[in-house]
């Protein structure tokens, strides 16, 4: 079933069967328009092609510029949309069932320490698959990309001689990101030794797999999950954690918050400020450990 047809069915469902108020209808329909626009940009045109990962990717992006209550409203709209589809068309599964709401108090993002990043990078072997996977993670971390941005990265967006890459992020806003010398070296190796062999279809995307096809978000998520299990790292570490680590480590190096905002592509500085909370939390932890030692009562 095409998404545009599902949207019209949903509009009728809200108006006739649910008898929602005009304001409520507009709110739900606006949410679904935003959601379907995201899917459309990824060439997902049929309800049957939507996966749980697609919804999670959308919510990751949406949550960056919206508070928890807004995200929860969006999740409610998505649940309502998919439920209506599954009821009207039983052959189409409700893939939103596994999506849960956020707590009102926003959790601090999960990130890796510098030592953990080094551990991940040094764990790859000297073969094509491992070096391909390593390049993906090096770029995710060194450039602070979203997984969707990494998968959509084109060859002509990458300028290694100038040490920059251009990324088209949320709302088609383009940003320019500097590339570290370590990342440039890894990307050059991938281009010369791996991509030159795998690119049998002459595609325009920077990351291609062994079949010469564009790298997928599903592949990246699964690869990271396997690597986290292999190294016994925090099971909550995800692809987005490398982006969180990028921001956190920049601020640790005294980078200006506004610069980090630009590099991440956040439209709102308040979204970027979540990373300062990480620093505050760590400072408090160090402070408490220090004074626990000083204030430890003497044994009688």
**What amino acid positions are annotated as catalytic residues?**
146, 170, 240, 243, 266, 275
Measured CA to CA, the distance from residue 280 to residue 172 in angstroms comes to: 33
Contact assessment for residue 176 and residue 164, using Cβ atoms and an 8 Å cutoff: yes
Residue closest to 171 by CA, chosen among 59, 51, 61: 61
Measured CA to CA, the distance from residue 198 to residue 54 in angstroms comes to: 26
Contact assessment for residue 129 and residue 151, using Cβ atoms and an 8 Å cutoff: no
Residue closest to 103 by CA, chosen among 67, 139, 143, 57: 67
Task: Find the helix packing angle between 239-252 and 257-264, rounded to 10°.
Answer: 160
């Amino acid at each position: 079933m095409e998404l545009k047809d599902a949207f019209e069915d949903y509009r009728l469902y809200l108006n006739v069967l649910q008898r929602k108020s005009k304001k409520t209808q507009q709110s739900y329909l606006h949410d679904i328009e935003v959601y379907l626009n995201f899917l459309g940009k990824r060439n997902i045109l049929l309800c049957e092609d939507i996966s749980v990962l697609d919804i999670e990717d959308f919510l990751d992006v949406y949550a960056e510029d919206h508070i928890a209550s807004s995200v929860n409203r969006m999740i409610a709209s998505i649940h309502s949309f998919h439920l209506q589809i599954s009821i009207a068309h039983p052959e189409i599964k409700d893939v939103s069932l596994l999506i849960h709401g956020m707590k009102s108090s926003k959790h601090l993002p999960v990130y890796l320490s510098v030592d953990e990043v080094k551990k991940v990078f040094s764990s790859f072997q000297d073969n094509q698959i491992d070096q391909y996977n390593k390049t993906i993670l090096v770029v995710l971390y060194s450039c602070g990309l979203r997984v969707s941005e990494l998968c959509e990265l084109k060859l002509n967006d990458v300028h290694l001689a100038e040490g920059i890459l251009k990324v088209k992020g949320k709302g088609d806003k383009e940003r320019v990101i500097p590339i570290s010398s370590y990342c440039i070296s890894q990307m050059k190796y991938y281009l010369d030794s791996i991509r030159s062999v795998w690119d049998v279809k002459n595609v325009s995307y920077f990351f291609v797999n062994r079949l010469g096809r564009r790298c997928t978000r599903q592949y990246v998520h699964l690869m990271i999950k396997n690597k986290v299990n292999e190294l016994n790292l925090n099971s909550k570490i995800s692809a987005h954690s490398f982006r969180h680590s990028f921001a956190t480590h920049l601020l640790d190096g005294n980078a200006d918050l506004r610069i980090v905002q630009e590099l991440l592509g956040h439209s709102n500085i308040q979204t970027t400020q979540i990373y300062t909370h990480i620093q505050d939390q760590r400072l408090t932890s160090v402070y408490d450990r220090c004074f626990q030692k000083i204030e430890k009562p003497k044994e009688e």
